[in-house]
Amino acid sequence: MTLIKLLVEGGKMSPGPAVAQQLGPMGINMGEVISNVNEKTKEFAGVTVPVHLNVDPKTKEVKIKVLSPPTSELIKKELGISKASGARLKQRVGNFAIEQVISVAKAKHDSMLSNDFLASVKSVVGTCQALGVLIENKESKEVMTEILEGKYDSQINSQKTKVEDEKRKDLDAYFSEIAEKQEAVHKAEEAEKAAEEEKKAAAADKPEEAKTEEKK
């Protein structure tokens, strides 16, 4: 058996040289493999998913195993964003409900080393912090402390994943305010940067003006 490891976007695997070079020499029907992979990963649309192909060169049989997507990919899908914050300490990209943390933890739990579901929840919270995601209108560190204090025991023990409409509305409204403030700060920084560049350009032109005056 030959193991081929891939990373594909859910439902959107396409022909590529890397796969062709590995499957081609074995006489495997690549079109059929791609179709089967897309069928098995379609529920992860918009998410990068690890896929293992176990190929038997003799029988041409291909067994497809879809692994759980990275926690960061599941969080981004839950938020409906394509990328996380490049400056997580000052740029927030979303506002999770604790129920969404639990939902991602459930999706990842089977692939995690720990049998303790609470440990899976805390792992997701840690990833939220790394991505710049607020939880319950708070920084992830604060929520982690609250989890340890038992504030969310009821939701975690029951593995509740449904976010009530009113709560979702409140979380979105809070994040909208955060996003507006971030945009204002970003625009101010861009304006300051542009002014600085203009100042440097003006300073660079002065020596040339001085030379011109000397020649006169």
Radius of gyration of the chain (CA): 25
Is 60:69 a contact under the CB 8 Å cutoff?
no
Strands 94-96 and 133-135: parallel
Return the amino acid letter for 134. L
Cβ atoms of residues 123 and 181 within 8 Å: no
Tokens of 77: 């899908």
Q: What is the mean pLDDT of each run of 10 residues along the chain (216 residues)?
A: 87 83 84 91 84 89 88 89 65 93 88 80 94 94 96 95 95 94 88 86 68 57
List, in order, residues 6 or more apart from 213 with CB less than 8 Å away. Answer: none
The pair of structure tokens assigned to 199 is 């100042």
**pLDDT for the residue 113:** 62
Nearest to 128 by CA among 46, 72, 81, 70: 72
Query: What is 127-169 written as a DSSP string?
Result: HHHHHTEEETTB-HHHHHHHHHTTTTHHHHHHT--PPPHHHHH
pLDDT at 114: 65
List of domains in the chain: 2-66 (3.30.1550.10), 71-186 (1.10.10.250)
Name the DSSP class of 110.
T
N- to C-terminal Cα separation, the chain? 84
